[in-house]
Amino acid sequence: MDKRHNPTRREAFKVLGGLLFCGGASVGIVHYAVRREASADETVRLGPVAEFPLGQFQKRTVTVTEHGTWLTGPVEKTLWIRRNADETFLVFSGTCPHMNCTVNDAPGQTFACPCHQSAFDTEGRVTAGPAPRPLDTLEFRVSGDGQLSVQFQNFKKGLPQKELVPLG
């Protein structure tokens, strides 16, 4: 009598399921190993200078294009903008330098990160951790016709110094 092993359908599906699971896990591991932070570097027009009250932070949401390892596309980002008496501006990225959460304004003209309770003063300095550095400032320009623009950029998270995430 021939004692060859004839796999059942159930055994075949177990093998197939195992192969699919291992393949999926492999893709996840490779993605984790080669992923990088999304980069963004573009000029965003915010509007007339007159729309920004003196000495008060104003929240603006802008749409920028982020370039990631696998995907590139539009994302919404928060900016905090203060117009100073000398007609300069202080522009903060609304992204916490700790882990990418969006900071909110808090009573007393300060900022707070809801994810890990980092806090920042009106100059962006850390008043409560775990944020490793102040809020990231962004460059601004005022055109001849009084329009405010900001150079939006993504910076690496979790570092004690501000470091741009390179494009590409």
* pLDDT for 32 beyond 70: no
- Summarize pLDDT for 136-163 with one digit per residue, the tens: 999 999 999 999 999 999 999 999 999 9
Higher per-residue pLDDT: 167 or 163: 163
pLDDT at position 16: 73
SS (H, E, C) the chain: CCCCCCCCHHHHHHHHHHHHHHHHHHHHHHHHHHCCCCECEEEEEEEEHHHCCECCEEEEEEEEEEECCCCEEEEEEEEEEEECCCCCEEEEECECCCCCCECEEECCCEEECCCCCCEECCCCCEEECCCCCCCCECEEEECCCCEEEEEEECECCCCCCCCECCCC
CA distance 141 to 87: 11
Q: Which two tokens stand for residue 43?
A: 């000029």
pLDDT in tens, 94-128: 999 999 899 998 766 689 999 999 999 999 999 99
Q: Which pLDDT score is estimated for 42?
A: 93
Whether 23 has a pLDDT exceeding 90, the answer reads no
**pLDDT computed for residue 22 by the predictor:** 63
If one compares 33 and 28, the residue with the highest pLDDT of the two is 28
Mean pLDDT for the chain overall: 86
pTM of the model: 0.77
- Domains of the chain listed by start with CATH number: 41-153 (2.102.10.10)
pLDDT at 25 (0 to 100)? 53
Bridge partner list, 45: 149
